[in-house]
Amino acid sequence: MGTADFIVVANRLPVDRSGTEEGEEQWRPSPGGLVTALNPVMRQADGAWVGWPGQADLEVEPFEFDGMQLVPVALSAEDVELYYEGFSNDTIWPLYHDVIAAPRYRREWWQAYVRVNRRFAEAAADAAAEGATVWVQDYQLQLVPRMLRELRPDLVIGYFHHIPFPAYGLYSQLPWRRQVLEGLLGADVIGFQRVADASNFARAVRRQLRYDTKASGIRVPTEDGGARLALAKAFPISIDAEEYIRLAQRPDIVARAAEIRESLGNPKKVLLGVDRLDYTKGIRHRMKAFGELLQDGRLAVEDVTMVQVASPSRERVAAYVHLRDEIEQTVGRINGDFDTMDHTAIRYLHQAFPREEMVALYLAADVMLVTALRDGMNLVAKEYVASRVDNRGVLVLSEFAGAADELGTALRINPHDIEGVKDAIVRAVEMPAAEQGRRMRSLRKKVRDHDVSDWSSEFLEALDAVRRSRS
């Protein structure tokens, strides 16, 4: 039993180690949406964050950082390979994204996943005060809710699933489908991005476990022969909209946006894609569409440039190595065919940039291309919209991204329909300013009215309701 009243359990701690100095550990915050969203709650409560420090074989004692208690969970190189790269990113990730890549089912990976999930559950159980609230994050930790409930029945437990939950026909491929459902059902509240994800989950529970579900409630049998109610529903995640608005008004960032356009040869229109280099994001589909538009002569390289930021991701997983080769070959071919001495078709950057540079890119882009084949939410879409304080720019948005449920006035596309994507790009490039303004104002209102602090307070309110119903 520990002292923390509120605990976040996530695969990663919200800090990176930046080397050691005279034997002292040096840590810097790794800025992410989740930290921003939870910071206020962490400060108010006696908060702790349980997670992996990001390097294999690094054993660190719990320490204080920026007003929170950080509880590192050590992973060996083998754990990283089997639990993280293997089961999390080569089994669950492709399966839950509609098998865009083939999931690999390996018993050794599953065993490591169980073992490592138990380690996270034990660390959380040790840190939590009597009756504390614990919020488990994402697909790497689906077994933690149940393990934690077994260790500590006094806790109020939430789980948020950042990625899609697949349709039953796909989910049922998973050799450990019952164990994963039982793991998740250890939580009092199970949050998903979309209503469709929550219903896919409820259906899997009905089919596999035969539990009753009614609206968002699932009756989970308890050992004493009774039942408790778990809530499974949508809590769409968002961004710190005000922060993007602030950055988008900073004079140096506005100037940088102009400089970016200049360095591209001042094309009439700039198209932008920003993604982790991941096969779920539809990067090749958007390049194919763009390449064909140049080929057909519907767009000219002198007028339109595409910028693609593909930040390095999961570089030790084979499917990602393969994807990178394919994308780089596609970029090379398109540029080889269409570049001139002064203009490039695709400016491709396999790099990560500071957030300021991302906002400058958003401001420089006339058209933002979000063509994910499947995506839990897609925060890039929301960041682009929030940054467009000038109410200009066009968002082309895949209907397979969770963001499509909220961002109704984007140009919606089916990324598999290359002709449809081409038409949407041309329409975006030609869209009159007045129509851009109409659509963008409505998109911006959506994001501002529901930002990341609304997301976290709605989720935590649901957990509070559980607590009240217990006493």
Binding site for ligand GDG (CB under 6 A): 33, 162-163, 237, 274, 276, 309, 311, 352-355, 358, 375-380, 383
DSSP line for 145-170: HHHHHHH-TTSEEEEE--S----HHH
Minimum gap (Å) between residue 379 Cβ and ligand GDG: 3
Q: Could you tell me which of 197, 164, 170 has the C-alpha nearest to residue 97?
A: 164
The dihedral built from the CA positions of residue 200, 377, 420 and 320, taken in this order, carries a sign that is negative
∠ CA 382-387-389, rounded to 5°? 125
d(CA 173, CA 23): 48
CB of 353 to ligand GDG, least distance (A): 4
DSSP code, position 176: T
Q: Give me the least distance between CB of 108 and ligand GDG, in Å please.
A: 26
Nearer to ligand GDG, 255 or 352 (CB): 352
**CB nearer to ligand GDG: pick between 138 and 182:** 138
What backbone torsions phi and psi does residue 407 show, to the nearest 5 degrees? -95, 70
> Both tokens of residue 298?
């519907």
Nearer to ligand GDG, 202 or 358 (CB): 358
Rounded Cα distance, 30 and 86, in Å: 24
Give me the least distance between CB of 447 and ligand GDG, in Å please: 13
Write the DSSP string, 199-226: HHHHHHHHHHH---EETTEEEEE-TTS-
52: nearest Cα among 101, 104, 116 = 116
Q: How far is the CB of 276 from ligand GDG (least distance, A)?
A: 5
Least distance (Å) between residue 160 CB and ligand GDG:
8
226 or 354: CB nearest ligand GDG: 354
Sign of the four-CA dihedral 233, 237, 241, 242: positive
Q: How far is the CB of 189 from ligand GDG (least distance, A)?
A: 16
CB-wise, 256 or 298, nearer to ligand GDG? 256
Rank residues 338 and 384 by Cβ distance to ligand GDG and give the closer one: 384
Backbone angles phi and psi of 190, in degrees to 5: -115, 115
User: Which DSSP state fits 375?
Assistant: B
Per DSSP, 341 falls in state: S
Based on CB atoms, which residue is closest to ligand GDG, 69 or 371?
371
